[in-house]
C-alpha cells in the first residue's frame, strides 16, 4: 500500500456513493448551461495548472513532457467538447409523435422520448493515459455532461497526478456551485476498492480501462448483482495490420518503417498498438522484413511506465520467443534502473498462429508479431478466426481490389475502427470517432469510450405517453 495515498476504506466508499446519490437528484435537474460552465471551468483550470500537472505525471509515469503536454491539451479540448454537448442538450436525443385521437381502429396518444441520466457512475481509469483516460478523461466528462455524478478510482500507477486532477475538478465544482457529492476521488491499490465500488447497490454504471483479466472479473461482479448494471470495459486488443500483396510490391520499405514506428510509439504502451501484422509470402516480403529488422535494431531502448509493466513485458516477450522466431531486437542495451525496454520483432507462420492460442496473447510494450500466410485463403481464414479488436488496418495496392472486397467485410466484424493505408496508434476525440470493438476489446462493441458519443453509456431512454407538450 502507498503510505502517501492509502487505500480508501469501505466506509469512505459508502459515504462517497451516498453523497453521489444525494447529489444526483439535484445535479440532473441543473440546466445544460450550468453543467457546461462547470466543465469549461475544469478546462480552464487544467490549462492554468499545466506545468504542475505535467511535472507530476512525468514523475510518476516516465511518459515524457512532449507526450504529456499533447495528452493534456487533448483532454482540455475534449472537456470543452462535452461542455458544448451539455449546453445544447443534444444528448437527450429527443423525439416525439403527436396524438391522433381520431385514428382508426384505436386512437394514438402523444409520445415523447428523451434520454435521462442513469445515476452515479464509477470510473476506473487506465495506467497508460494518466490524463486522457483517467480522472478528467472521456468517461468522467461525458458522465458529468449528462447529469451523472462521478466517483473515480485513482490508478495506483499515478496516484499523485490523480489527486491533483481531483483537486481541480472539486475547485471547479465549488466555483460553479455544483451539488455536494457531484465528484469524488478514491485511492486504491488493492483490488478490493474496485470490487466494492462495482458491487455497491448505489453504483448505476461503470467505465473501466485495463487488462482483460481485471475487466472480466469486474464484469462478472456487475452482472451478478441483485440489480445488474452496465459495465463498459476497454481491455485487450491485437489491432492487426493486413499488408496486401500489391502494397508490399509498391512500397514495402515505407510500410515497414511506419510499422516499426507504430510499434515503438510511447514504448508500445498504447491500446491501439499493432500487435500483429499479416502478409502473404511473395515478392517484396524479403525487402519488407529486412527493412523492419533494421529499423527495430536501430530503436533506442524506451522507458516504460513503471517497473511492474517492464517486468510483465519481459515475461510476455520471453513466452513469445518460445513459440515464434525472434527476428530483431534493439542493439542498444537498456538501463534497467530507468525501466527501459528493448524493441523486439517476432515472426511465425499463419498455420502456427491459428493452432496455438498462446501466440494470440497481447504483449503490452514495444513488440509485434509478423505472420506469414501462404496464400489469400490462409490470410482470410486467419482474419475470420481473430477475436475482437479496437482497430484493424489495411495496406492496399493497385492490384488488391478483389482481396479487399473479401477481407473488408470480415474486418468490419472484428474491429470497431478500420484504417486504410494507415497505422492505428492514437485516436482523435470527435463526433465521428468510435473507440470500441467486439469482445475482448470491449464488453459492448456498440459504444465508444472516446469521442462525443461516449455519453450514450450513461443514459437511457424514457418515453412519456399522453403528457401535454408543456409538462
Whether 228 and 290 map to the same domain: the answer is no
Whether 259 and 229 map to the same domain: the answer is no
Instruction: Of 166-175, 274-283, 287-296, 420-429, give the lowest mean pLDDT range.
Output: 420-429
- Residue 425 forms part of a structural domain: no
Q: Tell me the three cell numbers of residue 19.
A: 453523497
Whether 209 and 132 map to the same domain: the answer is yes
Cα distances (Å, whole numbers) of residue 175 to 33, 38, 402? 14, 8, 60
Confidence tier at 298 by pLDDT (50, 70, 90): very high
Whether 111 and 14 map to the same domain: the answer is yes
- Give the count of beta carbons closer than 10 Å to the beta carbon of residue 184: 24
- Residue 355 forms part of a structural domain: yes
Q: What is the pLDDT of residues 15-37, one digit of tens each?
A: 999 999 999 999 999 999 999 99
Instruction: Examine the pLDDT at 121 and tell me if it is beyond 70.
Output: yes
Is 0.85 surpassed by the pTM of this model? yes
- Residue 206 forms part of a structural domain: yes
Whether 51 and 176 map to the same domain: the answer is yes
Whether 121 and 76 map to the same domain: the answer is yes
- Give the count of beta carbons closer than 10 Å to the beta carbon of residue 411: 21
The pLDDT score that the predictor gives to residue 1 is 63
Residue 327 parent element (H or E)? strand 325-329
Q: What is the pLDDT of residues 56-113, one digit of tens each?
A: 999 999 899 999 999 999 999 999 999 999 999 999 999 999 999 999 999 999 999 9
Provide the CATH number for the domain around residue 132.
3.40.605.10
Whether 355 and 449 map to the same domain: the answer is no
State the catalytic residue, choosing from 148, 271, 293, 362: 271
Whether 156 and 224 map to the same domain: the answer is yes
What average pLDDT does the chain have?
95
Q: Reply yes or no on whether 127 is catalytic.
A: no
- Residue 226 forms part of a structural domain: yes
Q: Give dist(CA 292, CA 298) in Å, integer.
A: 10
Q: Give dist(CA 245, CA 280) in Å, integer.
A: 7
Instruction: Examine the pLDDT at 3 and tell me if it is beyond 80.
Output: no
Strand partners, 125: none
- Residue 4 forms part of a structural domain: no
Q: What is the pLDDT of residues 168-194, one digit of tens each?
A: 999 999 999 999 999 999 999 999 999
Residue 60 parent element (H or E)? helix 50-61
Backbone angles phi, psi at 2, to 5 degrees: -75, 115
Percentage of the residues of the chain whose pLDDT score is greater than 90:
93
Confidence tier at 4 by pLDDT (50, 70, 90): confident
Peptide bond preceding 440: is omega within 30 degrees of 0, i.e. cis? yes
Instruction: Examine the pLDDT at 6 and tell me if it is beyond 80.
Output: yes
Q: Give dist(CA 97, CA 111) in Å, integer.
A: 5
How many structural domains comprise the chain? 2
Instruction: Examine the pLDDT at 429 and tell me if it is beyond 90.
Output: no
- Residue 352 forms part of a structural domain: yes
Confidence tier at 316 by pLDDT (50, 70, 90): very high
Cα distances (Å, whole numbers) of residue 290 to 1, 278, 282, 322? 47, 16, 14, 22
Instruction: Examine the pLDDT at 463 and tell me if it is beyond 70.
Output: yes
Provide the CATH number for the domain around residue 346.
3.40.309.10
Whether 292 and 407 map to the same domain: the answer is yes
User: Average pLDDT of 353-379?
Assistant: 95
Domain span including residue 286:
241-420
Confidence tier at 469 by pLDDT (50, 70, 90): confident
Instruction: Examine the pLDDT at 205 and tell me if it is beyond 80.
Output: yes
Whether 318 and 415 map to the same domain: the answer is yes
User: Average pLDDT of 406-430?
Assistant: 94
State the catalytic residue, choosing from 71, 78, 89, 234: 234
Whether the CB-CB separation of 60 and 121 falls below 8 Å is answered with no
- Residue 344 forms part of a structural domain: yes
User: Average pLDDT of 451-460?
Assistant: 97
List of E strands, 118-225: 121-124, 150-153, 183-186, 205-209
Q: Give dist(CA 438, CA 94) in Å, integer.
A: 28
CA 139 to chain centre: 10
Q: Give dist(CA 163, CA 141) in Å, integer.
A: 17
Q: Reply yes or no on whether 40 is catalytic.
A: no
The pLDDT score that the predictor gives to residue 470 is 81
- Residue 437 forms part of a structural domain: no
- Give the count of beta carbons closer than 10 Å to the beta carbon of residue 436: 26
Whether the CB-CB separation of 302 and 366 falls below 8 Å is answered with yes
Whether 231 and 273 map to the same domain: the answer is no
Q: Give dist(CA 331, CA 298) in Å, integer.
A: 7
Confidence tier at 426 by pLDDT (50, 70, 90): confident
Residue 367, SS3? strand
Whether 170 and 245 map to the same domain: the answer is no
Amino acid at each position: 500500500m502507498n503510505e502517501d495515498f492509502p487505500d480508501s476504506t469501505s466506509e469512505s466508499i459508502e459515504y462517497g456513493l451516498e453523497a453521489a446519490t444525494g447529489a444526483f437528484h439535484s445535479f440532473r435537474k441543473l440546466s445544460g448551461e450550468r453543467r457546461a460552465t462547470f466543465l469549461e471551468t475544469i478546462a480552464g483550470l487544467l490549462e492554468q495548472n499545466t506545468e504542475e500537472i505535467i511535472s507530476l505525471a512525468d514523475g510518476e509515469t516516465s511518459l515524457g513532457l512532449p507526450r504529456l503536454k499533447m495528452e493534456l491539451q487533448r483532454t482540455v479540448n475534449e472537456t470543452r467538447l462535452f461542455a458544448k454537448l451539455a449546453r445544447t442538450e443534444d444528448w437527450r436525443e429527443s423525439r416525439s409523435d403527436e396524438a391522433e385521437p381520431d385514428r382508426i381502429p384505436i386512437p394514438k396518444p402523444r409520445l415523447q422520448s428523451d434520454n435521462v441520466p442513469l445515476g452515479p457512475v464509477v470510473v476506473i481509469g487506465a495506467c497508460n493515459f494518466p490524463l486522457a483516460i483517467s480522472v478528467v478523461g472521456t468517461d468522467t466528462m461525458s458522465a458529468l455532461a449528462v447529469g451523472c455524478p462521478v466517483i473515480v478510482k485513482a490508478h495506483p500507477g499515478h496516484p499523485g497526478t490523480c489527486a491533483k486532477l481531483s483537486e481541480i475538478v472539486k475547485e471547479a465544482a465549488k466555483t460553479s456551485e455544483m451539488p455536494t457529492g457531484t465528484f469524488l476521488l478514491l485511492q486504491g491499490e488493492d483490488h478490493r476498492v474496485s470490487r466494492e465500488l462495482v458491487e455497491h447497490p448505489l453504483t448505476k454504471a461503470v467505465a473501466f480501462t485495463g487488462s482483460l483479466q481485471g475487466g472480466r472479473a469486474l464484469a462478472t461482479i456487475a452482472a451478478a448483482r441483485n440489480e445488474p448494471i452496465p459495465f463498459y470495459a476497454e481491455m485487450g486488443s491485437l489491432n492487426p495490420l493486413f499488408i496486401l500483396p500489391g502494397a508490399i510490391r509498391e512500397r514495402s520499405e515505407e510500410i515497414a518503417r511506419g510499422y516499426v514506428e507504430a510499434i515503438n510509439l510511447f514504448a508500445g504502451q498504447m491500446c491501439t498498438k499493432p500487435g500483429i501484422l499479416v502478409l502473404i509470402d511473395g515478392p517484396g516480403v524479403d525487402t519488407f522484413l529486412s527493412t523492419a529488422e533494421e529499423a527495430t535494431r536501430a530503436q533506442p531502448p524506451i522507458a516504460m511506465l513503471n517497473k511492474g509493466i517492464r517486468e510483465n513485458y519481459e515475461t510476455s516477450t520471453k513466452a513469445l520467443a518460445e513459440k515464434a522466431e525472434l527476428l530483431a531486437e534493439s542493439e542498444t542495451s537498456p538501463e534497467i534502473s530507468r525501466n527501459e525496454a528493448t524493441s523486439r520483432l517476432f515472426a511465425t507462420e499463419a498455420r502456427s498462429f491459428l493452432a496455438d492460442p498462446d501466440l494470440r496473447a497481447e504483449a503490452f510494450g514495444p513488440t509485434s508479431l509478423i505472420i506469414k500466410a501462404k496464400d489469400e485463403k490462409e490470410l482470410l481464414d486467419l482474419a475470420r478466426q481473430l477475436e475482437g479488436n479496437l482497430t484493424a488496418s489495411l495496406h492496399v495496392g493497385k492490384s488488391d481490389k478483389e482481396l479487399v472486397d473479401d477481407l473488408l467485410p470480415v474486418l468490419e466484424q472484428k474491429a470497431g475502427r478500420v484504417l486504410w493505408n494507415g497505422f492505428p496508434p492514437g485516436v482523435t476525440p470527435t463526433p465521428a470517432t468510435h473507440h470500441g470493438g467486439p469482445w475482448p476489446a470491449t464488453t459492448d462493441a456498440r459504444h465508444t469510450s472516446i469521442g462525443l458519443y461516449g455519453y450514450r453509456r450513461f443514459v437511457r431512454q424514457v418515453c412519456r405517453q399522453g403528457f401535454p407538450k408543456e409538462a
